[in-house]
Amino acid sequence: MGPARPTLDSSDSSPTASPPDERVVDQLRASAERIRERQLETALSRHDRCGGVREDQQRVVDALSHALVTAVLQAPTDALADADEPTRRRATVLFELDE
Residue 12 lies in a domain: no
C-alpha span between 59 and 53 (Å, rounded): 10
With a cut of 80, say whether residue 14 has pLDDT above it. Answer: no
> What residue numbers bound the domain in which 77 lies?
22-94
* Structural domains of the chain, count: 1
SS (H, E, C) 24-76: HHHHHHHHHHHHHHHHHHHHHHHHHHCCCCCHHHHHHHHHHHHHHHHHHHHHH
Q: What confidence tens digit (pLDDT) does each residue in 64-94 have?
A: 999 999 999 999 999 998 899 999 999 999 9
Residue 50 lies in a domain: yes
Which of 7-21, 22-36, 83-97 has the least mean pLDDT?
Answer: 7-21
